[in-house]
Amino acid sequence: MRKKIIIPKNELTRLYYKENKSKYKIGNIYGCSFSTVLNRMREYGFKPLSRSVIQSKYTKKNFSGDKKAKAYMLGFRLGDLNVYKTTLKSEVIITRCHTTNQDQVDVMNDLFKKYGQVTVKKNDNNKSITVNCFLNDSFDFLLPKSDLVEEWITENNKFSLAFAAGYIDAEANIGVYDKRARFKIDSYDKNTIFWFFNLFKINRISCPKPIMIGRKGQIYNKERGYKYNKDLWRIRVSESKSLEKFLKIVKPYLKHKKRIADLNKCLININDRRNK
């Protein structure tokens, strides 16, 4: 008969409630399994910690307050992030993205790893990646998802370019098509699309007025029955001088490696066509 593993109540209290160690880590300390730790907890009448408390065990730092970083995060959040609390009273803010692109994972690490725990989970079935970032409530500015760019961003061109870069890293298409450099964004975020149009005008960048390319409820994939959830809008810049100017002024703010690589290809294309 195996000898019962004893974990003193005071020690278990300290490890679980004060140090927020998981049952697995406590088991490692005492050389026993998760289930043994769970049995001792049940014997002592312990109540399990909530998920938000367990998540709080990760060291978290307050947001630096850097406004360019904040503007970029807001643009990236609007374009591609899911941000929430597990409960209304939770002090943990979870920032999540689901992607198949490692560059997107790298952006998440660059943005948030210095502030809190970042976990990356790969799905072998469809090669997708889920990234979760556990942050403290100094990041509550990321919770609202608003299709209205805040005034403090709009009133400052550097902050505007940082916000634009975040949104571009999440949503834009930059590339060389039919031997010509192109930039476009297709999005449901109508107000943000028209905000880009205004940003281009302020920076004297020529582009056509945004157009609606799909209506809410319209089927765009008959085989799978996919429909547009909202009206889909497009803004684009194709005229070479304007495109070159915009790419050069936004480039220092971009973080996504593929966007930067595609941008560089566009600049080379514009230069090559100019010199022919």
Domain borders along the chain are 9-49, 67-142, 151-274
Query: Residue 187: which of 231, 251, 142 has the closest Cα?
Result: 231
Q: What pLDDT, on a 0 to 100 scale, did the predictor assign at position 52?
A: 52
Q: State in words which class domain 151-274 has.
A: alpha beta
Confidence of residue 1 (pLDDT cuts 50, 70, 90): very low
Q: What pLDDT, on a 0 to 100 scale, did the predictor assign at position 31?
A: 84
**Rounded mean pLDDT, 113-141:** 89
* In the predicted structure, residue 55 carries a pLDDT above the cut 70: no
Averaged confidence pLDDT in the chain: 90
CATH architecture of 67-142: Roll (3.10)
Distance CA 75, CA 262 (A): 19
Distance CA 199, CA 90 (A): 37
Instruction: Answer whether 67-142 and 151-274 agree in fold.
Output: yes
- Which two structure tokens, joined as six digits, stand for 36? 């043994």
Confidence of residue 54 (pLDDT cuts 50, 70, 90): low
Question: pLDDT (tens digit, 9 = 90+) per residue, 143-158?
Answer: 999 999 999 999 999 9
Q: Are 212 and 257 in contact (CB under 8 A)?
A: no
Query: Burial, 137: exposed, middle or buried (Cβ in 10 Å; 0-12, 13-18, 19+)?
Result: middle
Q: What pLDDT, on a 0 to 100 scale, did the predictor assign at position 245?
A: 97
Question: pLDDT (tens digit, 9 = 90+) per residue, 57-113?
Answer: 567 889 999 999 999 999 999 999 999 987 777 778 999 999 999 999 999 999 999
Q: What pLDDT, on a 0 to 100 scale, did the predictor assign at position 28?
A: 81
Q: Out of 26-30, 69-73, 114-118, give the one with best mean pLDDT.
A: 69-73
